[in-house]
């Protein structure tokens, strides 16, 4: 392990000079800069980020907390995009990030978790996939021990920000767009989980839409499960003119059911996930740039850490028109 001191000695300059060169600070002559860089090359010096963090006592690291799929305990594509976007942004901003999964916090009390995070020198939190039932996460947020950014949930106050897209408007827009191509006067809406914050929003969007267009709507909860959506479709789609699903996965289930029933109904998804292309289906979708949401969340967390106050951020979304045609059985 070669340290900054070795470099300084090798280059025949002071430690602080090396530090300045490494961090691109002003006040170093071109000449010495080159000398130092040469020494860095030769010794293959890599500054120790941990030590730097300790010394500069920068606000601290930030932790990404990710809720897992309850059934398989896996991370779906959307959460993965959140994470990627967040980590990339953190590297850009020079923030230190670690990723935590809720499954590993399960056997710890709220207090223990807070202590653990503090011990890890964590000052900021970005939480993905929180629902109304996650008491522990709520406890951590409310403790005020950390600057927190919550994705897809309505929390914002002095030390908490929320980042999401406008789910209500998105749900409204996507169905309205579908209606332009396929008129109908009754919709089967397969919602997700009741305890999900985004569901409240999306449902509100649907309610506004059916009211304005004078359409009847049957709401069923599919819990974001392909299988349940399939069953619901089997049971209720016959008498309805269109199936709207709160997630692409459920839309896939609905489509499979429709194929088996051998009837055609317009189907409308939401997320715009890769899997859709994988199974060879196409439909109306809100193409969310999930990575961007993660990225934005980290940026916002940085803002909070530097003393600014929390806020409620709604990002733009984008609508993509697709139809299902060559469906693979």
CB of 32 or CB of 157, closer to DNA:
32
- Please state the closest distance from residue 23 (CB atom) to DNA, in A: 5
Q: Quick one: what does residue 319 bind among a second copy, DNA, none, with the CB cut-off 5 to 8 Å set by partner type?
A: none
- The listed partner (a second copy, DNA, none) that binds 32, CB under 5 to 8 Å by sort, is DNA
State in angstroms the smallest separation of the CB of 166 from a second copy: 25
Closest distance between DNA and the C-beta of residue 1, in Å?
A: 5
Return the number of the residue (77 or 308) whose C-beta is nearest a second copy.
Answer: 77
Neighbours of 325 (CB within 10 A): 9
Picked from DNA, a second copy, none, the partner binding residue 139 (CB below 5 to 8 A depending on kind) is: none
- Closest distance to a second copy from the beta carbon of 117 (Å): 9
Residues near DNA (CB under 7 A): 1, 3-5, 12-17, 19-20, 22-23, 25-33, 47-48, 51-52, 54-57
Q: How far apart are CA 48 and CA 196, in angstroms?
A: 41
Cβ atoms of 313 and 162 closer than 8 Å: yes
Q: Are 143 and 110 contacting, i.e. CB atoms less than 8 angstroms apart?
A: yes
Which residues here bind a second copy, judged by CB under 8 A? 46-51, 53-54, 61, 68, 71-77, 79-81, 83-84, 87-88, 98-99, 101, 103-104, 115, 118-121, 227, 273-275, 278-279, 328
Helix (H) or strand (E) holding 291: helix 290-305
Backbone φ and ψ of 2, nearest 5°: -85, 130
Nearer to a second copy, 119 or 214 (CB): 119
| Binder of residue 14, out of a second copy, DNA, none (CB less than 5 to 8 A by kind) | DNA
d(CA 120, CA 19): 25
Q: Which does 87 bind (CB under 5 to 8 A by kind): DNA, a second copy, none?
A: a second copy
- The interface partner of residue 22, options being DNA, a second copy, none and the CB cut-off 5 to 8 Å by kind, is DNA
Among the listed residues 263, 271, 238, 236, the one whose alpha carbon sits nearest the alpha carbon of residue 252: 271
Q: How far is the CB of 96 from DNA (least distance, A)?
A: 13
State the DSSP H helix or E strand holding residue 212, giving kind and residue range, or none if neither: helix 197-213
Minimum Å gap between C-beta 2 and DNA is 8
Of 140, 98, 100, 132, the C-alpha closest to 148 is 140
Q: What is the DSSP letter of 154?
A: -
According to DSSP, residue 23 is labeled T
User: What letters, b where the CB count within 10 A reaches 16 and e where it falls short, cover 215-234?
Assistant: bebeeebbbbbbebbbebbb
Nearest residue (CB) to a second copy, 70 versus 183: 70
Strands 319-320 and 285-286, by their bridges, are: antiparallel
33 vs 311, beta carbon nearer DNA: 33
Q: Which is nearer to DNA, 93 or 319 (CB)?
A: 93
User: Which one, 74 or 262, has the nearer CB to a second copy?
Assistant: 74
On whether the CB atoms of residues 150 and 127 are closer than 8 A, the answer is yes
Candidates 261, 280, 282, 258; CA nearest to 272 is 282
User: Is there a contact between 132 and 197 (Cβ–Cβ < 8 Å)?
Assistant: yes
Question: Residue 291's CB: how many other CB atoms inside 10 A?
Answer: 19
Provide the minimum distance between the beta carbon of 13 and DNA in the complex, in angstroms, as a whole number: 3
Q: Residue 26 has what DSSP assignment?
A: S
| Partner whose binding site includes residue 218, from DNA, a second copy, none (CB under 5 to 8 Å by kind) | none
- Least separation in angstroms between residue 56's CB and DNA is 4
Residue 158 near which of DNA, a second copy, none (CB within 5-8 Å, type-dependent): none
């Amino acid at each position: 392990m070669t340290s900054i001191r070795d470099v300084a000695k090798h280059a025949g300059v002071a430690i602080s000079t090396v530090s300045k060169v490494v961090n691109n600070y002003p006040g170093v002559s071109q000449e010495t800069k080159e000398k130092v860089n040469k020494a860095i090359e030769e010794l293959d010096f890599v500054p120790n980020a941990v030590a730097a963090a300790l010394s500069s006592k920068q606000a601290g690291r930030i932790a990404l907390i990710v809720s897992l799929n309850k059934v398989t305990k896996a991370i779906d594509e959307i959460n993965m995009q959140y994470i990627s976007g967040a980590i990339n942004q953190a590297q850009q901003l020079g923030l230190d990030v670690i990723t935590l999964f809720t499954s590993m916090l399960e056997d710890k009390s709220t207090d223990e978790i807070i202590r653990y995070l503090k011990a890890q020198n964590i000052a900021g939190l970005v939480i993905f996939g929180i629902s109304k039932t996650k008491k522990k996460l709520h406890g951590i947020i409310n403790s005020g021990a950390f600057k927190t950014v919550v994705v897809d949930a309505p929390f914002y106050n002095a030390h908490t920000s929320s980042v999401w897209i406008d789910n209500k408007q998105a749900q409204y827009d996507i169905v309205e767009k579908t209606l332009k191509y396929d008129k109908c006067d009754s919709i089967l809406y397969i919602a997700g989980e009741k305890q999900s914050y985004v569901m409240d929003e999306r449902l509100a969007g649907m309610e506004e839409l059916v009211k304005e267009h004078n359409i009847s709507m049957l709401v069923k909860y599919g819990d974001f499960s392909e299988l349940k959506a399939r069953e619901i479709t089997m049971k209720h789609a016959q008498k309805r003119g269109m199936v709207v699903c709160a997630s692409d996965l459920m839309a896939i289930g609905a489509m499979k059911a429709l194929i088996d029933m051998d009837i055609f109904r317009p189907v409308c998804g939401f997320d715009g996930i890769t899997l859709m292309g994988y199974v060879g289906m196409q439909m109306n979708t809100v193409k969310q740039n999930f990575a961007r949401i993660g990225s934005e969340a980290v940026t916002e967390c940085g803002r909070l850490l530097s003393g600014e106050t929390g806020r409620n951020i709604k990002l733009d979304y984008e609508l993509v028109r697709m139809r299902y045609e060559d469906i693979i059985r």
